[in-house]
Amino acid sequence: MKTIVITILGKDQPGLVDNLAKHVFAHKGNWLASNFAQMSGQFAGFVEVHVPHDTHDALINSLNTIEDIHVQSVSAIEKTSPMPQQSMVINVLGNDKAGIVQELTAVLNQQKLNIRSMESCCESAPNWGSLMFKATIVIDVPEEFDGDDLIEALEAVANDLVVDISTYT
């Protein structure tokens, strides 16, 4: 079996995921994981698929024929034995400002932390009339990692930023 990661992007419309699933199933693929979102009328997502070696190329060619969406696929590289890691979930809340994502990710990069997933949004703050930035970031950290320095560095991005490390997994 080969692992393929598929990305899709296109105008949101009913049936996109079903169409993709039909192509995967027709080539004996096993749908392992996916993550989809709709933003500003566009649909984007990622799918991880296991496919037999003998249908791999045919699935890639088939995916490239899907109309109305842009599809990219790459064969995943087998992981070597990773260093022991754990995941940390960081919740961030503060007034929105241009550059906040760059500043937050720069702090994580400076500490050589890998972002596993990140969800963010801006919402109207009740009674304030301004936008609030919210993010949930899952990062990989070494087992002996102390999150206190990270919280301090992230909160230094803005004086109103609240950072909470809510769980270790």
Q: What is the pLDDT of residues 34-52, one digit of tens each?
A: 999 999 999 999 999 999 9
Domains of the chain: residue spans and CATH: 2-75 (3.30.70.260), 85-168 (3.30.70.260)
Q: Where are the alpha helices (DSSP H) in the chain?
A: 16-26, 53-63, 100-110, 147-155
Mean pLDDT along residues 102-119: 93
Rounded distance between C-alpha atoms, residue 169 and residue 152, angstroms: 21
pLDDT of residue 84: 56
Distance in angstroms between the alpha carbons of the first and the last residue of the chain? 29
Reply yes or no on whether the pLDDT at 148 is more than 60. yes
8 A C-beta contact, residue 116 and residue 89: no
Rounded distance between C-alpha atoms, residue 48 and residue 6, angstroms: 6
Bridge partners (DSSP) of residue 163 are: 92
Residue whose C-alpha is closest to residue 21's, from 31, 12, 11: 31
Query: What is the reported pTM?
Result: 0.79
Rounded distance between C-alpha atoms, residue 44 and residue 154, angstroms: 28
Q: Which amino acid is at 36?
A: F
Helix (H, G, I), strand (E, B) or coil at 119: strand
Bridge partners (DSSP) of residue 135 are: 92, 120
